[in-house]
Structure 1
Amino acid sequence: MNSIKPEIARIALVGCGPISNFHVDAVNGVGMRVTDVAASKNSVTVGSFASKFDIPNVWKDPEQLILEGSWDGLVLAAPTKAMLPLLTLAISRNLPVLVEKPVAMSSFALDSIQGNPQQVMVAYNRRFYPKIQELKQILQISKPALISVEIPEKLLPSSTGALNEIYSGVIQNSAHMFDIIRFLAGALEIVFVDSPGDRKRELGSLMVLRSEHGHLISLKMNYQASANFSITADIDTKRYSLLPLELLSIYDGMNVVEPTQEVPVRSYKPQLQSQLRSDPSEFKYKPGFLGQAQAFKELMLGEPSSYMAHLDDTRKALQIAEILINPLNQLPFPIKIN
């Protein structure tokens, strides 16, 4: 077992953007402390960030912090395009690293990673939503389910027309959803994917996947739709709905409302059996971040959580994104995500 005492563990942080605020709060919330911070070289904002959170050691160079700092664990919250060189340096220290998702802009870029990736935890914080974990437990013991996933991601303007710019949100944000599908349903293979019209990807895409447990998943990329990210699972008469992802609603049966003189139309409403809301205490932190920090603490103790995401998990999430983004012609279905 690792000799680190997590209650006094020294955590170094690279990055001082908005997401870093949540990491500091969560690290403190599980009894550790951020003692060192750096951002981009010669950052003009890192000093005020350190003062805000009472971080004693400020570094001008993130690479120097990674290589020379006295830390027990490292949180990398740098921009995705700057992440891989920093992660490569961090792995050379052979100490635990929590790195923001999706780590890289392509699955192929991860091939450059050397060293001990088992010490690396990827920050897919939605794995630590209590309601997502509850649905995972249900799907592990249930008969095969029909699962629907809706991802109304935004498309971004690009002066060059580069796909990785237009579909940047699919890579950097929707990767969360691709990871959650695998987390909930198990190993996947893609059996079908298509887009409306003459396969115009910008109009959206429909992907059908099958899991190792037999779950059949319909994934709808309805870009810029007036909708919310959601997941539903239908098992026999029950429907499990994550909408929003922090709330698990369970429906069983239909209520039939007979027509009346005032409302001469029969209506059918799903019967709400239970609604599992997050505990109010969870809202002190960004959802999932406290559980994620606790899992990072366990990794530092040499007791990795079964819920933590590894580099191979983010590789597979990126593979799904790449299939949705790239030309759809001549894809050899089924495609195993491995």
Structure 2
Amino acid sequence: MHYPATFKKNLIEWFKINQRQMPWRDTNDPYFIWTSEVMLQQTQVDTVRSYYLRFIKRFPTIEALANASEEEVLKHWEGLGYYSRARNFHTAAKEVVEKHEGQVPYQPDVFKTLKGVGPYTQAAVMSIAFNHPLPTVDGNVFRVWSRLNNDESDIALQSTRKTYEAELQPYVDSESGTFNQAMMELGALICTPKTPLCMFCPVQSHCESYALGTVLDLPVKTKKIKKKQLTYDVYLIDNHQGGYLIEQRSSKLLNNMWQFPMYDTKPTEQELKKEFGESLHVDETCLGTVKHQFTHMTWTLNIYRAKINAADFDTVTMNRKWLTRENRHQLTLPVSMSKIYDTFCERTNE
């Protein structure tokens, strides 16, 4: 559907007055805008703000990011989750330095070839930084556009995204970055999922679902697949000197991050002694349970304590270390492990 010129005019005027102040809105630097867009994927704005400021302070240029180690990049990402975003962004920064003389590509088709850059990131960065006429379609835009058109198409389908992009194309022929941000901001502040503020909407007069009373029925989205439930036993192995044994993950999920030893099948004390030494003593009392949600799975972590004579166990290997208060902020732990440390280890050290 093509709306009259007043639709875009009203939306942009509202945005210029009501937009939230964001540090990445104070710049046209494509690297900073790109950083914010990567962080904002699947993460709330309020959470991203402090991470963004800390990240660009440490990596003020794309060269600084490219030249950093993966471990340091992940450390500055710690707590944001979805760590593949950080790894892909780090790889893409290296590509920019190596292939594009340290300049974020201006051409959308070239930018899209970089690691981790999908249709949304391409459209967002290219429109906001360079005003390329590319429409952004994220969760907010899906909601706004489906309601404006009273469209019952399933937004989980790729075909719906393609249709919406085509329908939004005429509105980004000029002021594309501003229009895209205005649409997303409208969805974040006014056209919210459960309690939309329709009476304050600047484009209410153009909204078919408001006129028909179907706002809360939209958008239509097929239900997500039920999350996989996984249970692990986690062991806090104390060396009597304030250190806890951690291991570096080698699996694809949370790769290279540090965790306490964890098992999907509960080991016997003899099996643990065989792995860590005869001086290991395990307390079979469960200290508590920590749950952590991923996109497609849930971890349930049962926590146990054990003690070991550090002199009897050589941890000088590539993938094992003692975690202490002194090195805690140098090592990257997944959120679940940080939660365990803060809850069960720090409390013991007090």
Q: What TM-score do the two structures reach when normalised by structure 1?
A: 0.25
Select the structure with the greater relative contact order (CA < 8 A; seq sep ≥ 6): 1
Which has the larger share of helix? 2
Q: What TM-score do the two structures reach when normalised by structure 2?
A: 0.25
Which has the larger share of strand? 1
| Bigger Rg over Cα | 2
